[in-house]
Amino acid sequence: EVQLVETGGGLVQPGKSLKLTCATSGFTFSTAWMHWVRQSPDKRLEWIARIKDKSNNYATDYVESVKGRFTISRDDSKSSVYLQMNSLKEEDTATYYCTTDYWGQGVMVTVSS
C-alpha cells in the first residue's frame, strides 16, 4: 500500500521558518519525482516545488512565489522528501501536500502573528 505522511506543520509567526517532512512507503521512491502542492483556505491548489530523481541530478524547480524562500530536498535512504520554508508570509497559510501520483493526507501551516 502506498503511503505518504506529512509532518511538521503548525502555527508560525511571519518571517519565521518551518520544515515539513514527507515519509513515504509502498513505491519505488528513489526513481520518483516528488512534488509539494499547497491548498489555500479558499481551496485553490498551487503547485510549489518539485525534485527529480538521482538520474536527473536531483534537479529542483519552484513556483515564483516561493523561489528563494523554500527549499525542497530528499533522502532516498529514508524514502522521504522535505520542504524547508523560510521567511514565511501570511499568504503561505495553507494545507501542504507531498505528491507523486499519490498524495499524502496533508499538513496545515498557519502563518500569523
Partner 1 sequence: DVVMTQTPVSLPVSLGGQASISCRSSQSLVHSNGNTYLHWYLQKPGQSPQLLIYRVSNRFSGVPDRFSGSGSGTDFTLKISRVEPEDLGDYYCLQSTHFPPTFGSGTKLEIK
Beta strands 10-12 and 3-7 are unpaired
Q: Which stretch binds partner 1 (CB under 8 A): 19-27, 61-69, 74-82, 83-91?
A: 61-69
d(CA 18, CA 83): 8
The distance of closest approach from Cβ of residue 45 to partner 1 in the complex, given in angstroms and rounded to an integer, is 4
d(CA 85, CA 72): 9
**∠ CA 110-94-65 to the nearest 5 degrees?**
105
Q: Which stretch binds partner 1 (CB under 8 A): 13-21, 24-32, 70-78, 100-108?
A: 100-108
Using CB under 8 A, which of 11, 28, 30, 47 touches partner 1? Answer: 47
- Which residue ranges make up the site for partner 1 (CB under 8 A)? 43-47, 61, 63-64, 97, 101-106
